[in-house]
Chain A
Amino acid sequence: MFVIVVGCGKIGYQLSRALLAADHEVVILERDSHRAARAAEELGSVIISSDGTEPTVLTEAGASRCQLLIATTGQDATNLVACQVAKRSFRVPQTIAVVTDPDHVALFKQLGVDVTISTTELILSHIEEEMPGGPLVHLLPIQGAASGIVCVRVPAGSPAIGRSLAVMGLPVGTSLAAVVAKNGEIKSIGPDLLLEQDDEVVAITPPDKETLLWRALTGGA
């Protein structure tokens, strides 16, 4: 795949190195000439020392035949404009933006950025996963939808134990995909389903309903 990486800070540099190691064609655009020169010593002639939000620079970099643009600078504004120019002026099929301000996630999606990676949310989700007693584990984001697949284990003392799905009431917009009992038995999903301690609940939920879902299944605050 031919990938353009905008920004050669820590994320851009490590990402490019990994992409090159996986035999992808990579061009990195880095505005700061010193930073570009330093990275070029390690990565070779894949770096252009120019502003990746400039249409003329993207033309030179070959954006018109690029399959994926990843904007990794520390500035959300730069990452947004790089993705918008790539999408609108060069018809790049897939764009990914690193987002520092979590408030920008929804806006960027609305503005046509295909995937946003919020560094803050990423760290938070890992902190949640470290929580004892029924953590919420992110299994998979669903492409093209604002939802993701998550997994929660029902802990001892959860208010959900012994209650049927109909009574319990899940947050609007969430739905259960599968429930696996401790012994490995897969329970059938229906209004009569009774949850027990140590059930693994796999659910589909939008990110803003995660906390509600987690509370409903674990009783946590």
Chain B
Amino acid sequence: MADQLKTALVPVTGSPLDEFTVGLACDLVKHHKGTVHVVYVIEVSRQLPLDAEVPFESTRGERILVQMEKVAKSHKCKVEGEILQARSLGPAVVDEAALRNADVVVVGSPYQEHFGAPTIGDVVPYLLKYSPCRVVVYRDAQARMESK
């Protein structure tokens, strides 16, 4: 690759894919002694102010971030975790990528169906369309859902 990837941004949600995406991001940046930023975005309902206290979600996010920091360390990679509150995931990740000057966003996409048809949801298309930097999508195999 012509450009060096030094800063990766990984949105995590608590899905089994998080480990893979964080690991993948570490592999992408560690040759250049880069950093992986792991973000857990709390989507706050519009019925609450954006800065409302959401203790349950915050605790969950912190737990997930601690786990992901371990994953990154096992890959011997520098990692920083952050919890964000936003109205929706896609725009929050795009803003964060711009703010961190990220070289790449690595996002997981579990295989999912909507009304009986496969779908990739709203977030991945949004990131592909609006991300200021490269985007790597790790779409999971179909089998995972069945084995669960």
Contact = CB atoms under 8 A, between A and B. Distances in A.
Interface in B85-108: 86-88, 90-91
Interface stretch (B11-19, B40-48, B76-84): B40-48
Contacts of A62: 45-48
Interface residues of A, number: 12
Interface string B27-56: 000000000000000000111111000000
Nearest to A62: B46
Contacts of A27: 46
Interface residues of B, number: 11
Interface string B120-144: 0000000000000000000000000
A38 interface: no
A44 B91 contact: yes
A161 to B, nearest CB: 59
A91 to B, nearest CB: 14
B47 A65 contact: yes
Contacts of A61: 46
B136 to A, nearest CB: 23
A44 B95 CA distance: 10
A60 interface: yes
Interface string A54-66: 0000011110110
A27 B86 CA distance: 14
Interface in A38-79: 44-46, 59-62, 64-65
Contacts of B87: 45-46
Given A45-B87, A65-B47, 4 more contacts: A2-B49, A60-B46, A62-B48, A65-B49
20 contacts: A2-B49, A25-B49, A25-B50, A27-B46, A44-B91, A45-B86, A45-B87, A45-B88, A45-B91, A46-B87, A60-B45, A60-B47, A61-B46, A62-B46, A62-B47, A62-B48, A64-B47, A65-B47, A65-B48, A65-B49
7 pairs of A and B residues whose beta carbons are closest in the complex:
A62-B46, A45-B91, A62-B47, A45-B88, A45-B87, A61-B46, A44-B91
